[in-house]
């Protein structure tokens, strides 16, 4: 299965003035939300992932404006080779895995998930990444598709997760990389 992942929207933003913001976070700060949304059958201790101690691994969190700054959504990024290189139209030089994406059910549909993915694209592009891949829950496949990800696998099972997943990939376009628009003379890549 081949995917056309060389196009798609990606307006990067960190948040609107006075609204929710996306910032670097940690496994610990995002654990409660990840557990509630993704893995309610696991303890916080059991949610630790291989690679969390990698200095390049990043957790991003979108937080509520105001005093409590509650984590409303989160995502984990780690430089990991894409497990489906045969599905790519061109080899990836620097692939990153998007994982542990969760938003509080009370704020779904408000654009915070999009803000998180756009911030993840920015984070990866700033580090020279050219591909983001994920094991998306089948129920979230359309969300990722609207953000430019393309499916590259049939649905498959993941250990300890009831819902099937599908492998998805998205290229980081040249125009999304810092400084590329100035070198090429346009933001179109």
* Domain CATH number, residue 117: 3.40.630.30
According to DSSP, the residues that pair with 163 across neighbouring strands are: none
What's the whole-number mean pLDDT along residues 26-41? Answer: 89
- The per-residue pLDDT for range 64-121, each reduced to its tens digit, is 887 677 899 999 999 999 999 988 888 899 999 999 999 999 999 999 999 999 999 9
Residue whose C-alpha is closest to residue 116's, from 60, 154, 78: 60
For residues 145 and 151, what is the distance between their CA atoms, to the nearest angstrom? 8
Q: Is 13 among the domain residues? A: no
Would the pLDDT of 16 be above 70? no
Q: Which DSSP string do the residues of 124-163 spell out, in sequence order?
A: HHHTT--EEEEEEEGGGHHHHHHTT-EE-S--B--TT-SS
The token duo for 155 is: 């649905």
Q: Is 164 among the domain residues? A: yes
- Give the domain range for residue 91: 21-184
Q: Is 10 among the domain residues? A: no
How many domains does the chain fold into? 1
The token duo for 181 is: 């628009």
Q: Is 77 among the domain residues? A: yes
Buried b (16+ CB within 10 A) or exposed e, 13-25: eebeeeebbbeeb
- The per-residue pLDDT for range 51-60, each reduced to its tens digit, is 888 899 999 9
Q: Is 11 among the domain residues? A: no
Residue 178's pLDDT band, with cuts at 50, 70 and 90, is low
3-class secondary-structure state, position 68? coil
* pTM for this entry: 0.81
Q: Is 121 among the domain residues? A: yes
Q: Is 113 among the domain residues? A: yes
Q: Could you tell me if 74 and 116 are in contact, meaning their C-beta atoms sit under 8 angstroms apart? A: yes
Q: Is 139 among the domain residues? A: yes
Strand extents, DSSP E, 36-139: 58-63, 71-79, 95-103, 131-137
């Amino acid at each position: 299965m081949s995917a056309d992942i060389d196009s798609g929207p990606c307006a990067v933003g960190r948040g609107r003035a006075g609204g929710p913001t996306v910032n670097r976070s940690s496994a610990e700060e995002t654990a409660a939300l990840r557990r509630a949304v993704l893995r309610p059958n696991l303890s916080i201790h059991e949610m630790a992932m291989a690679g969390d101690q990698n200095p390049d691994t990043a957790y991003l969190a979108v937080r509520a404006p105001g005093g409590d700054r509650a984590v409303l959504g989160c995502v984990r990024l780690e430089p990991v080779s894409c497990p489906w290189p045969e599905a790519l139209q061109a080899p990836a030089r620097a692939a990153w895995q998007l994982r542990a994406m969760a938003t509080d059910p009370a704020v779904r549909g408000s654009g915070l998930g999009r803000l998180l993915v756009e911030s993840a694209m920015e984070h990866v592009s700033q580090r020279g990444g050219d591909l983001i891949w994920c094991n998306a829950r089948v129920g979230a496949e359309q969300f990722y598709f609207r953000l430019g990800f393309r499916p590259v696998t049939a649905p498959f099972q993941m250990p300890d997760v009831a819902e099937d997943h599908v492998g998805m990939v998205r290229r980081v376009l040249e125009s999304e990389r810092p400084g590329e628009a100035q070198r090429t003379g346009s933001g179109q890549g």
